[in-house]
Amino acid sequence: MNIISSPIIKAILIVVAIVMAIIMISMPINIYGQSPKTQMQGEIAYITGGVGEDESSAMRGDAKNWPLMIDFSQNLENRDVWISQVDLRIQDSKDARIFEVTTDGPLLLVRLPSGNYVLIATYEGVTKTQKIQIIDGKPLRVSLNWGPPKSSI
C-alpha cells in the first residue's frame, strides 16, 4: 500500500497546501527591496541609508509614509552625485535642537510632528540651512545639494 494513497494522509497534505497558499498570499511583497532598519532618537523615528539601487528604491517607496524625506547630493563636474556622511541637525521653531544625525547614505526619512523646523546640514565643512514646514498627511521632500550650480551650456 502506497502511504500517499491513504485518505488521512491525502487530507493532511491538502490542508497543508491550503495553509501554505494562504500564508504566501497574505505576506506583503515589497518590490523595491528592503529599507534599512528604523532607528529612534528620543521620540523621533528615522531611517538613514539609500546606498545601492535596491535600498534607494525601497526608501523612496517608503517615503510616502514618512513626513520628511531628505536627499543629499553634490554637484561634481556639472553632474549631481549622491553623498553620505552629512551632519544634519534639526531645530524646532524655538531653536531647540531636537534631532541630530550623520547620514549613512544619500537618503534620510524622519518622522517629525507637524510644525516649523530648520534643517542645518554640513558636508565637507560647508553648511546649508533650510526652513521647512511639516503638515500632517502631506509628506515633504527636500533636496540638499552642495557644489556649484549646473551650467546651462
Query: Which pLDDT score, from 0 to 100, does residue 40 have?
Result: 97
d(CA 8, CA 81): 63
In degrees, rounded to 5, the angle at the alpha carbon of residue 36 between the alpha carbons of residues 35 and 39 is 125
Q: Would you state the cell numbers that stand for residue 98, as one nine-digit string?
A: 531636537
pLDDT for residue 8 is more than 90:
no
| pTM given for the model | 0.75
Q: Are 75 and 145 in contact (CB under 8 A)?
A: yes
Neighbour tally for 68: CB within 10 Å: 20
pLDDT in tens, 135-149: 999 999 999 999 876
Q: What is the DSSP letter of 10?
A: H
Task: Tell me what the pLDDT averaged over the chain comes to.
Answer: 87
User: What is the architecture, at CATH level 2, of domain 39-146?
Assistant: Sandwich (2.60)
Give the pLDDT band of residue 19 (cuts 50, 70, 90). low
85: amino acid identity, one letter: Q
